[in-house]
Structure 1
Amino acid sequence: MNKILESLKLDLLHTGHVQLDSNWDYDNVISPFSRIYLITDGNAKIFHSYEEVELKAGYIYLVPSFTYSRYKCDSFLNQYYVHFLEEIGNGLSVYDIKDFIYETVATDFDIQCFKRLVELQPSMSLKNVDVKKYDNQDSIEFIKKNNRLQSAAKLLETQGLLRLLCSRFIKNEKVNKTLIKSGFSDVLNYIKEHLHEDLTVSDLAKNYNLSADHFSRVFQQKFGIRPSKYIQTVRIERSETLLLTTNNTLVEIADKTGWNTVSYFTRMFKKINGKTPGQFRKERLSD
């Protein structure tokens, strides 16, 4: 399995040091890139991968790509940050083949890595911390293009530092290795990123120049589930997350997860969970 890591490609998007305040308050963030934070002072909270994490000074944190996440700072937070793209062979993500922890104590060497990245790439700091200003494909493509113009020495050192920081969070191999054989695993990330839209199997199939039936058969062979069922499953999971971690209304949640109407959302949610979204939220939050 470790041989696959030899093809790991990392592209730095942003790095810098910043002090944040209560304006750092974002919901429903699903970025196509990963984040690593080193907290130097203050505190805040983030939510991703079904976990709420309190950001504390002296720790480093990982937020994987294509995960629903929330960010909230009540007072202030000083942090170093690194945003990067990662890919292994055929469009796979390293998160498909390895399990990760999301928090660990920062070592002196970790701190040196962050500081060196900022020193090495001073032009890659964020000009605006508003996620909507930089979390878009045009911005990412522009940065990737500029990366290719860097000197070989700077590029290799940057990638080496990114690898070192990523290695701090790898836990072990995933048991399920199905995705490694996939030639179009990027479709899973596409579904997660566009979950709020009217996703259809026909539309997904067009991206691969396949008929809807052919696409469905291949998808099931690769992932062991029909694409329509997978979309429904992800929508239910994200709906559960929003019900338990936000004050969003059912209308807002239905809109954010692509159910279109509250009645359809309620009907499908009850079919899967045996209770309505409202009952689910009330029971789980009263535990």
Structure 2
Amino acid sequence: MNPLRKHFDVDTSLPVELVLRSTKNTQSELPDHLHDWFEIIYVHSGSGTFFINHTFYEMQAGDLFLIPGNTIHRTLPNPEQPITSSAMFFSSQYVQSAAISKEAFSYLRCFELAKSNRHYKLELLEAEQQRLESAINEMQEELRLRQPGYRQAVLLLLQTVLLHLNRKANPGQIAKDSHSGHNSPPWMQAALNYIDSHLIEDLQLTAMARRAAVSPSYFSRTFKQMTGLSVTEFIIAKRITLAKELLLTTDHTIAEIAGQCGFESLPHFYRMFKKFAGSTPNHYKRSV
């Protein structure tokens, strides 16, 4: 199994998965994972660092992270203070609903803001923490008992959570000063930013190491330790994420998209897409 891709085995009529109060440490934490579903992560206790897309964030009790679909992320727990967190995974199509009257509202607006601003963290007040914990506990109880109407109850609870998160995020309260280079060398953030802005170019390890003023072996080793991926794996995963967006938002051919995402050949693009996305580009476009 490819550790990059998280797999969901749930009722297709209820595309939601909860993982409540899971304690993560350096031994149990999985490598980065990449999936189409959206994810909300809430920290109950402990501390550590969260790597999302291209930025490192401090984690502590009361923090909430919004992870849009197809966003690389990884938790790096503090060995002395293991993180206990809850996670909600859901399909974006599941929570969408028709607008009421003339009010334009999207339950996913907070994720769109997080992605466009490249800031994925919200810091919840005590009352907000209690409200969120109550909602996810109710969702878990509905999923456990499966009484008549439980699917609708879970949807309503999830939509309520998203409603409050949108109200929290829309005034611009997504934390823009919360990222830091905790436990990472100063050049690491610059390297991640460089990859993001030159993604479709020929990115060579030696050239990036030279920009960082470190040896290629040290660059490679540190990059793997901090992100959970080799430099090559990280670049390909980011390119596949871009390809997924283009497949769903443009009418470009597969060959055009492969070139626009920096792949050297169409066969190479197909192989990497299958490896990182779990399906062919054509199947992905038809199934989403």
TM-score range, shorter chain: 0.3 to 0.5
The structure with the greater share of residues assigned to strand is 1
